[in-house]
Structure 1
């Protein structure tokens, strides 16, 4: 614990995942203690950021109301100064790559979603898509050609056999899949991750990884847990994230973030 307290003294910015970290994904519950956390961090001069697989459309009003300093969205592919709306970094899929992914998924009889910076479209909106994406983004429009007129930062697989999808050799060195739901996986650039997005913020601020802390729970936080100086996993986290964590805290419903920051003497 002494080593953790020492690391905590170096923290100047903290990034938070949204789903099952700041708020419960299925019920949308977010404890009042989260507002207290952001107010106290702001008062101490510690910056905050949201690091999420969601795009800006998925950053719900109650999270925006926390007034974070940065958004690291779409698993690090789109980074924005939340106060000025200045784009700090973006990593767009080339059109030819999108078309290769579509061809593969069609051959595998999987539907898909396009993720733009602040919008999403699906190839087919059915019960499978509604079950996977609905709790995060609500109902979405169908548009299989959305990529032709919009920058695409990420795609999602949508199928009832998602666990059987295997990237072909022609794509395996360009993209990777990160499962986030039984019926859906994020399709991200081979070198894309929340860690890269957060690194862009640190470079802007002239900070080191040792100055950064993060809270998360799922596999799309994996690289971030390897990168940050101090990483905290929620009690309900994926086993791999629990193993990587420097500290494990309670669930959202039990004020896990507040408890961790108090235990580590970051806030009173």
Structure 2
């Protein structure tokens, strides 16, 4: 613990995942202690960022109200200074790549969703899509050709056999699947990750990885846990993340973030 506390003294920016980290995904519950955390961090001059698989449309009002300094959205594919709204980085799919993905998903009898910077569309809205996407984004409009008019940063698979989907050779060297729900996986660039997005912020600020702490719980946080100077996993985190974490804290409902920052002596 002594080494961890030494690392904590170097922290100048903290990134937070949203679902089951800042707030409970299924119920939307966010403890009042989160507001206290952000207030104290701002008072101490420690910057804050949101690092999420969601796009800007999915950053709910109560999270925006925390006034973070940066948004690392869509698993690092879109990075924005939240104060100035300046876009620091974006990594979009080409139309050709989108069409290759769609062709593959159709052979697999899987529906899909397009993720743009501040909007989403699905190829089909049904019970399967509702169970996966509903708790995060609510009901989405259907438009299987949305990529023709919008920049696409990410796609999602949507099927009741998502665990059986396997990328064909022509796609395996371009994209990867990151499961986040029994019915859905994020489709992200092969080298894309939250870590790539957070690196853009550190570069903008002239900071190093050792100056960064992050909180997370899911498989899309793996690269970030390998990259950050200090990583904290929520109690409910995926086993892989628990193994990578420098520190494991309590659940959202039990004020896990506040407890961790107090234990690390970053805030009182």
TM-score of the pair, normalised by structure 1: 1.00
- What is the aligned partner in structure 2 of residue 75 from structure 1? 75
Aligned positions of 1:181-200 closer than 5 A: 181-200=181-200
- What is the aligned partner in structure 2 of residue 131 from structure 1? 131
CA-to-partner distance for each residue in 1:178-226, whole Å, 9 max, x for gaps?
A: 0000000000000000000000000000000000000000000000000
- What is the aligned partner in structure 2 of residue 209 from structure 1? 209
CA drift of 1:101 comes to: 0.1
Counterpart CA distance in 2 for 1:229 and 1:84 is 26
Report whether the alignment pairs 1:265 with 2:260: no
Aligned positions of 1:60-209 closer than 5 A: 60-209=60-209
Q: After the TM superposition, which parts of structure 1 deviate over 2 Å for at least 4 consecutive aligned residues?
A: none
CA-to-partner distance for each residue in 1:28-67, whole Å, 9 max, x for gaps?
A: 0000000000000000000000000000000000000000
- The alignment partner of 2:103 has SS state of helix
Counterpart CA distance in 1 for 2:95 and 2:209 is 33
- What is the aligned partner in structure 2 of residue 224 from structure 1? 224
- The alignment partner of 1:80 has SS state of strand
Long gaps (5+) in structure 1:
none
- What is the aligned partner in structure 1 of residue 29 from structure 2? 29
Report whether the alignment pairs 1:58 with 2:63: no
CA drift of 1:174 comes to: 0.1
- What is the aligned partner in structure 2 of residue 9 from structure 1? 9
CA drift of 1:244 comes to: 0.2
CA-to-partner distance for each residue in 1:118-177, whole Å, 9 max, x for gaps?
A: 000000000000000000000000000100000000000000000000000000000000
Give RMSD over aligned pairs: 0.2
Counterpart CA distance in 2 for 1:47 and 1:127 is 40
- The alignment partner of 2:213 has SS state of strand
CA drift of 1:14 comes to: 0.1
Counterpart CA distance in 1 for 2:84 and 2:31 is 27
